Structures are given as C-alpha cells and as structure tokens.
Amino acid sequence: MGPVCNILPEILCEFPAISNHTMRAFKRAVDGSFKDFVRAYGNAIDHATQPLQLFLNWLQDLFTDSPWIIVLLVLLVVVHLAGRDAKITIGTAISMLAIGLVGLWEDTMVTLAMVTVCTLISIVIGIPIGILMARSSRTQAVVSPLLDIMQTMPSFVYLIPVVMIFGIGKVPGLIAVVIYAIPPIIRLTNLGIRLVDKEVLEAADAFGSSPRQKLFNVQIPLALPTIMAGINQTIMMALAMVVVASMIGVGGLGKNVLQAITNQFFTVGFMNGFALVGIAIIFDRTSQAFGKRLQKHQEVLHG
C-alpha cells in the first residue's frame, strides 16, 4: 500500500468485494440452473430448432452442389437487379472468380449460405421489433437497453450460453450470429419509421387511413432506405461473427481462418480473409446501391 493508505481506514484503500465463498455459491447456482434447464428442455429445444437445421443444410447443399457457373450467374443477376450498377456487377464477377481460383469456392458457398440464413432470420425478427419500438415508447424503453447490451457484449461471450443450451454445431453458431447481428436492423427500422415526416402522417390521417394502412402504405415505404441501411449493417456484422462462430462448429471460411490462427498459417489466413472481404464488399455495395435507388424513387414520388 502507498503512504496515503497508511493514514486512511483500510476500507477506503481496498475495495470491499463480495467474499469468494458467496461468489462461488452464486456461480454454482447460475451454472446449475442452466444445466437443469438444458436437461429438462433439451429435447424440446432440439425439435424447435430442427427446421432451421434443415433449411440451412438445404441451402448449403444447393450452393455447394450446384455447378459454379450457375451459382455465379444467379449471383450476378441478383446483384445487377438490386444495384443496377455495371461496376458493382463486374467487381462481383472478378471477386468471385478470384475466390474460386484460389480454391475457396466451396467454403465461400458454405459461408454465403450461413450469412443468407442469418440475414433472413434477422429481417423476419428485427423489422417487427423495430416497428413495435417505433409505435410504442414503452417498448422502446424496454428493448433499447437490451440492444445496448447485445452490441457492447464481447462476441465470444455469446458462445457460452449458446453452447450450454444448444451444444456444438451449425444451428448454435447460427443463433449466436443472429444475436450478434440483429441490433442494427432493429434500431434502424425504429429510427426510419420515427423519422417519417409528421406532415405526411397528418395527410394520411386526413384521408382516413387506418393505423395499419398508414404503417404499410406510408411509414414503411418512406423508411425503406433507412431499413436497407440496417440490413446492410446486419450483413456486415454477420460476416464478422462467422469467424468467431467457427469455434462452435460453423464451417466455411471462418473455420479456415481459425485454423490458420491456431497453426500460424499466414497465407491461408490471408486468402480466407480476402474471400470474406470480397463477400462483404459485394453485399455492402449492392445493398447501398439498392438503398440509394429506393431513396431516389421515394423522392420522385413525394417530390
């Protein structure tokens, strides 16, 4: 202790932490509750997540078993229809061909299937929650702190309860990725709907629109660019989490990166990282271009 502590009471120099015995009892109680929950409801949880497993396996098999040229052409068509930008389409073709040339096509398809399923689940869950937050300040007050925790919690921590409840495998990894990636789409859906011009809402009320009509015909269309920004961020976070989730059984590029870190294979890690960056840029540029098109369309309609 320093000289200052010699003249102060001990309680002011050493923080009065909870005793080790009490902390051990608390940890045993919490861990035991988790284990009891898994024993009681483990089979029910497995049955509930079975459709996710089947859908993910089907999509992964579709991507990996289909001829590469067909997958590439379909991807280019989707990118072009969404972005309507020749530069993005050409960049996508070059990136995917480069990924295939270094022997990472199949692993990239596995990762693509995982990110696609995670994004779809995030959209299905996140947008309704964002709408509820926009329509109810009480719901926003309850959900916002949970989103704060989800966004600030270290990504590795998500794996602990997921593994305890669901075990090791693709579905637990998928659930961990969704938990990590879903906050942006919830927040930006809420923000987009709340930012809709009040004069537009008053005009809708004047025409006798019901709350449901106002939501689907006015608020959501006007909030679409912001919602698309949320989807964009969700995709980026899902790609970032795929590497961490590879620790609990998610295959694809994330598994290769983890193995490269473990074995100190710089080249393998760099190439798989390049593939992840390529996918991220494709998703980012395409979703941004689509969001800009939506925004211009809304400005034309209401300009």
Q: Which residue has the higher pLDDT, 62 or 159?
A: 62
- Domain residue ranges of the chain, discontinuous segments joined by +: 34-302
Confidence of residue 171 (pLDDT cuts 50, 70, 90): confident
**Type of residue numbered 256:** N
Mean pLDDT for all residues in the chain: 86
Q: Which residue has the higher pLDDT, 250 or 81?
A: 81
Residue 21 CA to residue 299 CA, distance in Å, equals 64
Residue 223 CA to residue 295 CA, distance in Å, equals 9
Is the confidence at residue 7, as pLDDT, over 70?
no
Residue 159 CA to residue 85 CA, distance in Å, equals 39
CATH class label, 34-302: mainly alpha
Residue-level pLDDT at 301: 62
How many CB atoms lie under 10 A from the CB of residue 268?
Answer: 16
Confidence of residue 44 (pLDDT cuts 50, 70, 90): confident
Confidence of residue 1 (pLDDT cuts 50, 70, 90): low
Residue-level pLDDT at 187: 94
| Residue corresponding to tokens 């969404």 | 82
Q: Which residue has the higher pLDDT, 148 or 247?
A: 148
Residue 162 CA to residue 147 CA, distance in Å, equals 18
Residue 212, token pair as written in the block: 């449901």
Residue 280 CA to residue 250 CA, distance in Å, equals 18
Return all residues near 240 (Cβ < 8 A) that are at least 6 apart: 155
Assess contact for 217 and 207: CB atoms under 8 A.
no
Assess contact for 234 and 119: CB atoms under 8 A.
yes
Confidence of residue 106 (pLDDT cuts 50, 70, 90): very high
Which of these ranges, 5-14, 236-245, 291-300, has the smallest mean pLDDT?
5-14
Is the confidence at residue 3, as pLDDT, over 70?
no
Q: What does the pLDDT average to over 241-268?
A: 82
Residue 70 CA to residue 155 CA, distance in Å, equals 35
Return all residues near 62 (Cβ < 8 A) that are at least 6 apart: 113
Residue-level pLDDT at 13: 66
Residue-level pLDDT at 73: 96
Residue-level pLDDT at 210: 85
Residue-level pLDDT at 72: 94
**pLDDT tens digits, residue range 281-290?**
898 888 888 8
| Residue corresponding to tokens 């925790």 | 149
Residues of 95-115 as b/e, b for ≥16 C-beta within 10 angstroms?
bbeebbeeebbbbbbbbbbbb
Residue-level pLDDT at 213: 87
Residues of 232-253 as b/e, b for ≥16 C-beta within 10 angstroms?
bbbbbbbbbbbbbbbbbebbbb
Please report, for residues 18, 156, 245, 285, the alpha-carbon distance to residue 250 in angstroms, rounded to integers and kept in the order given.
38, 14, 6, 26
Residue-level pLDDT at 37: 81
Assess contact for 108 and 275: CB atoms under 8 A.
yes
Whether the CA torsion 61, 64, 69, 72 is positive or negative: it is: positive
Whether the CA torsion 90, 91, 94, 96 is positive or negative: it is: negative
Q: Which residue has the higher pLDDT, 237 or 303?
A: 237
Residue-level pLDDT at 209: 83
Among 79, 70, 80, 77, residue whose Cα is nearest residue 109:
70
Is the confidence at residue 19, as pLDDT, over 90?
no
Q: Which residue has the higher pLDDT, 251 or 71?
A: 71
Is the confidence at residue 5, as pLDDT, over 70?
no
Is the confidence at residue 101, as pLDDT, over 70?
yes
DSSP state of 197: -
Is the confidence at residue 206, as pLDDT, over 80?
yes
Residue-level pLDDT at 158: 76
Which of these ranges, 93-97, 132-136, 257-261, has the smallest mean pLDDT?
257-261
Assess contact for 172 and 118: CB atoms under 8 A.
no
Residue-level pLDDT at 97: 94
Q: What does the pLDDT average to over 250-256?
A: 83
Report how many helices (DSSP H) and strands (DSSP E) the chain contains, helices first. 14, 0
